[in-house]
Chains A and B, each alone.
Chain A
Amino acid sequence: MPVRRSLAVESRPCAFEAWWEEVLSALEAQGFSQDDIFAVHLALEEAFQNAVKHGNRMNPAKKVMIDYTVDPEKVEVRMTDEGAGFDPGRVPDPRVGENLYRPAGRGLLLIRSYMHTVEYNERGNSLRMVRHKSRPVPKS
């Protein structure tokens, strides 16, 4: 049975843990591997911190809306903040030149690396991410 939930989470960096435990339980119940869980954990952590710090700017009056579905094949998460949004295409590539030594852009790079689908809405304040369950490697 797919698990579907919608939450409104307060804009505090440490609020991640409370709702992550729910997603983790759903992933384990659907048989996702530890590698999948590591990937989803990292992507959601980075997305949530971006929403809280850059989107809502730690404003306690603002929430991060999270909608997630976990089914036997995939996990899909939409995360929406109440900020002005941003253009993900203008975030510098943190792997290039002097950017290696700057703090910006690594979270977004990790989200794109660990999730199979990453899409922003036009305003840039809502992110949809999907990761498909890894197939077990067949024994030779």
Chain B
Amino acid sequence: MAAIQPRINVEYTEEATIIAFTDERILEDTDVRALREAVESIVEQAPRIHLVLDFRHVKFLSSAVLGLLIRISKRVYEQEGELRLCNIHPGIYEVFKITRLTNVFEIYEDVESATQSFSPRP
């Protein structure tokens, strides 16, 4: 497992790349920018990535992070990859519901179910 700054942990398995956000709160522009750069650098290097974003540590985020997730999602699908979110705290899940981003993202209970949901690789 590799640590990139204090923001994310990255785990590579046979089925997926799993990125866990390590901060409890993601608010400021500098946080969002650091996350964007870190995640996009991984996505750019891996066409057809099976990417899981793990929110187990995150207790609070702002709408700027939702914009970041949409940007990541677009990039993943442009590269013919697939994206899953998981381990979302109930308070944050409510934010996804209010903004109807539950219709945009595939959200799973845990890393295991998210990983198992990907289409089989050709």
Contact = CB atoms under 8 A, between A and B. Distances in A.
B62 A42 contact: yes
- Of B60, B98, B104, most buried by chain A (CB within 10 Å of CB) is B98
A4 interface: no
Interface string A67-83: 00000000000000000
Nearest to B104: A100
B84 to A, nearest CB: 18
Interface of B: prevailing SS: helix
B91 A110 contact: no
A107 B104 CA distance: 18
A137 interface: no
Interface in A88-102: 94-95, 100-101
A54 to B, nearest CB: 13
A120 interface: no
B99 A109 contact: yes
Nearest to B64: A49
Contact of A41 (B29, B60, B66, B104): B60
B98 A16 contact: no
A107 B103 CA distance: 18
B98 A109 contact: yes
A106 interface: yes
Interface string A54-67: 00000000000000
Contact of B95 (A16, A42, A101): A42
B63 interface: yes
Contact of B66 (A13, A16, A35, A106): A106
Interface of B: 27-30, 60, 62-64, 66-67, 70, 74, 91, 95, 98-101, 103-104
Interface of A: 13-14, 16, 35, 38, 41-42, 45-46, 49, 94-95, 100-101, 103, 106-107, 109-110, 113
Given A110-B63, A113-B98, 10 more contacts: A14-B28, A42-B95, A46-B62, A49-B62, A94-B99, A95-B100, A103-B67, A106-B63, A107-B63, A110-B99
